[in-house]
Structure 1
């Protein structure tokens, strides 16, 4: 079977995320040294690039950096909507990351 299903899931997650309003009160918020709105913008752009044909090495490195940032901030978010918003973003990043295994060093 072709890997079409994964692309469909990524496209669905991307569409859901783009249609969801950014969490109220979290613009300009930094948690543990990570600016949430920049993390959101970076992952969204990287997912779009993946859907449009794939990431280059720089994009893959940025994706893994973003995934680490999401893993750092998610346990610290205490607002239910914001947590679900960024959990979806992390899932989307994971869908892209699965296509680009992280290589050490």
Structure 2
């Protein structure tokens, strides 16, 4: 076999081993990030459910208002505060202007 081809094959094999090691390291470093992203996916599924079931959300709000109006207003204010904070954070992260 040609010595140059043999050298190239040897280098190619060594690079493959190195790439495999780097992939394993990257996968191990990404584990905490994977867990955080999975939690984010769960939250987004909940938000998606809320968007597709407005009647259920409305019924829950009506029930809360009938049960404890003062508490409902307090939670509504908190909700608006959180919603505004989310909108501000989203626009900052995504660079949107609104």
TM-score (norm 2): 0.29
User: Considering only CA atoms, is the larger Rg found in Structure 1 or Structure 2?
Assistant: 2
TM-score, normalised relative to structure 1:
0.28
Asked which structure has the greater RCO (Cα within 8 Å, sep 6+), the reply is 1
